């Protein structure tokens, strides 16, 4: 694999101060391999979607988020499962970013990894299926495997800070980021062939 500087943008679907998913985004920054750079974007800056506002143009933080998604090689979405689905905070941010009203959606053909932690044994499996369905719209290319489910979160995170403490899970997250980079490179190769044409060279 080409070890150029690979850039991942991290989004957390919870605004809670000690959110475990904000903790996952911080941990991803810490465990990312050296050849990768990882940056988070705080969804607290994104207003609720309102088409009246969109009619007048996207708000500045929405423009910034859309530009970052476009510029980065891949996006990591760390989100809780809410009501067997995804939190409104994430759904609203995606509403802004999946639209192609003023310019094409930056999620089109964007490699995406999903990670979630739950108090029970499900590890956000149901919520992740909903998010995969939402991301079929652009379409974004969500990595099919490995799946990054974190069950029994109370045993793995610091309840006071939201920090991801469990070493096995941190190692799994590091491998997941590498797998996301590999997935992205696999997608780039056929696109390059498409662009150059199979007979070129």
Ligand X SMILES: Cc1cc2nc3c(=O)[nH]c(=O)nc-3n(C[C@H](O)[C@H](O)[C@H](O)COP(=O)(O)O)c2cc1C
The residue ranges that bind ligand X (CB under 6 A) are 14, 16, 19-21, 80-84, 118-120, 122, 153
Characterize the bridge pairing of strands 141-142 and 74-78. unpaired
Distance CA 68, CA 54 (A): 19
Q: What are phi and psi of 170, to 5 degrees?
A: -65, -40
CB of 139 to ligand X, least distance (A): 25
Closest to ligand X by CB, 120 vs 139, is 120
Closest to ligand X by CB, 130 vs 140, is 130
Contacts of 129 (CB under 8 A, 6+ apart): none
CB of 188 to ligand X, least distance (A): 32
Task: Name the residue among 79, 83, 103 with its Cα closest to residue 93.
Answer: 79
Closest to ligand X by CB, 124 vs 184, is 124
CB of 98 to ligand X, least distance (A): 22
CB of 21 to ligand X, least distance (A): 4
Distance CA 52, CA 189 (A): 41
Q: Considering Cα of 2, then 142, then 59, then 91, what sign does the dihedral take?
A: negative
Closest to ligand X by CB, 89 vs 97, is 89
Closest to ligand X by CB, 81 vs 95, is 81
CB of 127 to ligand X, least distance (A): 7
């Amino acid at each position: 694999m080409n070890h150029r500087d690979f850039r991942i943008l991290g989004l957390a679907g919870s605004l809670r101060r000690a959110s475990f998913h904000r903790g996952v985004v911080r941990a991803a920054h810490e465990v990312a391999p050296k050849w990768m750079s990882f940056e988070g974007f705080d969804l607290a800056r994104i207003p609720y979607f309102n088409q009246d506002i969109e009619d007048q143009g996207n708000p500045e933080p929405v423009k910034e988020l859309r530009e970052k998604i476009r510029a980065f090689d891949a996006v990591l979405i760390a989100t809780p499962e809410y009501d067997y689905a995804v939190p409104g905070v994430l759904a609203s941010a995606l509403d802004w970013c999946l639209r192609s009203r003023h310019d094409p959606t930056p999620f089109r053909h964007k490699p995406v990894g999903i990670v979630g932690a739950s108090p029970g044994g499900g590890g956000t499996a149901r919520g992740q299926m909903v998010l995969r369905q939402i991301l079929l719209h652009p379409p974004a290319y969500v990595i099919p495997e490995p799946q990054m489910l974190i069950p029994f979160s109370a045993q793995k995170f610091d309840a006071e800070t939201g920090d991801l403490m469990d070493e096995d899970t941190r190692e799994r997250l590091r491998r997941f980021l590498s797998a996301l980079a590999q997935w992205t490179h696999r997608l780039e190769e056929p696109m390059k062939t498409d662009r150059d044409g199979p007979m070129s060279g």
